Structure 1
Amino acid sequence: MMIKVEEVINELIKPIPEPEKTVDTLIVGEKDKVVKGIGTTFMATYDVIQRAIDLGVNLIITHEGIYYSHHDQTDKWIQDPIYLEKRRLIESSDMAIFRLHDAIHLYKPDGITKGLLHSLDWGCYVEKNDLTESILTLPAMTLGEFAEYVKKKLNIPYVRVVGDVSQICKRVAVSVGYRGGGENAIPLFVREQLDLLITGEGPEWETPEYVRDAVQQGRKRALIFLGHAESEKAGMRYLAKKLKSVYPTIPVHFLDEKPVFQII
């Protein structure tokens, strides 16, 4: 049975009503192309695209845009050699690339957060799933132990921590991506009586400084920034597992990438 790109896209977006505005789009490729192999990834980097070609993948499902901005506006890059070489690789490969960002975040529960919790083995501790975070009561650990645990489970070399590493934490919120900004994150601490927020990233002068002030006042507050990709790629790995069950005759791969930053 031949499955076309459009059929896979429809499978991905069918759990939600079609949003009025979305960045989810077929960035490149034809909807009626027969799918020979699927690759899911957080970010379709140059290396990820090359590995997809080597694996025989002709449909990449990427969470983030491929051209360095949320809306993939390429006008400013049209003379840039990096952009031009990446576009050349994509066009020469006859690859279809679909961006799955808004829809998977609108799954109930959020598909990216669910994948992260699955990788952390914390699904059974979830008390509720809100629009932008999940609230959990976990077995007590120190902040330092939580940091080491998530590093090991997610196979990442580092996290960034604010707070007293000896503080005992149980009440935890988990969110992904750029949801660590003050407007979203700070009210959680009081509303949900949190000990710890684990999230992707956010402005360094907002939630991290709030947590620092709290600690200096003798209050129990703690924060772990995983990194944007490190908080979200587990969701795209989880999606690959789901697609394998939906399309058992099509090879499906999760295309991982190393952390973009190096600690020197």
Structure 2
Amino acid sequence: MKDASFQSAYLLSRRKFITSTLLSGSGMALLGLQPAYTKEAANVFQKQWTVQQVMDHILKEGELSPLKETVDTLKSGQASQVVSGIVTTMFATIAVIEEAAKRKANFIMAHEPTFYNHTDNPEWVAGNTVVKDKQQLLEKHNIVVWRFHDYCHSLKPDAISYGVAKKANWLSYYKPGERILTIPKLSLQQLVTHLKSSLGIKQLRVIGDLNQSCERIALLPGAWGGQRQVGVAESEKPDVVVVGETPEWETTEYIRDARLLGRKMSLIILGHSVSEEPGMEWLVDWLKPKFSGLPVSHIASGDPFMWL
């Protein structure tokens, strides 16, 4: 019995020694593993992440410096909360919040505002009952919402434009930082069909001749604002300007008059939410290897409009 106990203790001690050695740098060297393994080991074996740790790690992995002035702040919840799962989306709508709760994910990364104005000021309209009800729903499910807009566009490449180009199968024509993609020639009709099919959009708004040849595309998803959209159109002279949304009295009227003056430039309006959603969807692929212990998924907020 004494020998058996001694042998059992010896084997247990030896097992612990081997395990600790293999997890050390020298042990990994013996196994021929690369040093990069140790660099990621903390991510692989970390079992719990707080909200603050997740945000800090994203900035670190994206090589981003904290911004002094940014809308990318917490809209609900506390930085000290332990994260049970991450969800990316365009807008943290009521439906997205409820679906996140079903998935037992309590950390939502939303690209756009949660409370209907750029800074998410809940008093933007005093006594807003929809805002109050939404806040109560977030509190009920103990869900954190972190806006990921400025940092998202600061990633290299910009997560939104890269995600859109990837989903449109245009990565071979995409150059980070450039707004013009030169694609194989298509008619405007063919281009519209391609965008609807690849991006999963039911309806688009278009100004232009459907038989026009399109090769140089200004890809401007989201809401750039009329001045910047027209600025790109003037400086780059694309065949077609593809935007998420635009004030109808700005870019829309510019394109209409440009065409009446003989310029062959068209406009495609995708819709704000659906135009940037591919970027937040692609962000899941970027996040997953960085948080191996956390479930990470995407919930599309979708097109808010019903087309009649």
Range into which the TM-score falls when normalised by the shorter chain: over 0.9
Give TM-score scaled by structure 2 length. Answer: 0.80
Structure 1: runs of 5 or more not aligned:
none
Show the counterpart of 1:7. Answer: 53
Show the counterpart of 1:241. Answer: 285
Q: 1:66-113 CA distances to partner (integer Å, 9 max, x unpaired)?
A: 111111111255633322221111101111111111111122332211
| Amino acid aligned to 1:83 | V
| Contact 2:255 2:265 (C-alpha < 8 Å) held by counterparts | yes
Correspondent of 1:22 among 70, 74, 88? 70
Correspondent of 2:81 among 33, 48, 56? 33
Show the counterpart of 2:295. Answer: 251
Show the counterpart of 2:231. Answer: 187
Q: Please identify which structure carries the higher helix content.
A: 2
| 2:166 corresponds to 1:118 | yes
Distance 1:231 1:62 in 2: 14
Give TM-score scaled by structure 1 length. Answer: 0.93
Distance 1:192 1:212 in 2: 17
Correspondent of 2:188 among 136, 143, 146? 143
Show the counterpart of 1:167. Answer: 212
Secondary structure of 2:248 counterpart: coil
| Contact 2:225 2:247 (C-alpha < 8 Å) held by counterparts | yes
The aligned runs of 1:90-239 (5 Å cut-off) are: 90-127=138-175, 129-130=177-178, 134-181=179-226, 183-239=227-283
| Contact 2:157 2:176 (C-alpha < 8 Å) held by counterparts | no
Distance 1:251 1:58 in 2: 11
| Amino acid aligned to 2:72 | D
Secondary structure of 1:103 counterpart: helix
- How far off its partner does 1:21 sit? 1.1
Identity %: 35
Distance 1:162 1:55 in 2: 41
Stretches (4+) displaced over 4 A: none
Secondary structure of 1:206 counterpart: helix
| Amino acid aligned to 1:13 | L
Distance 1:122 1:198 in 2: 14
| Contact 2:164 2:276 (C-alpha < 8 Å) held by counterparts | yes
| Contact 1:143 1:169 (C-alpha < 8 Å) held by counterparts | yes
Structure 2: runs of 5 or more not aligned:
1-46
Distance 1:63 1:145 in 2: 30
**CA RMSD after TM alignment:** 1.6
Distance 1:89 1:127 in 2: 41
**Which protein has the larger Cα radius of gyration, Structure 1 or Structure 2?**
2
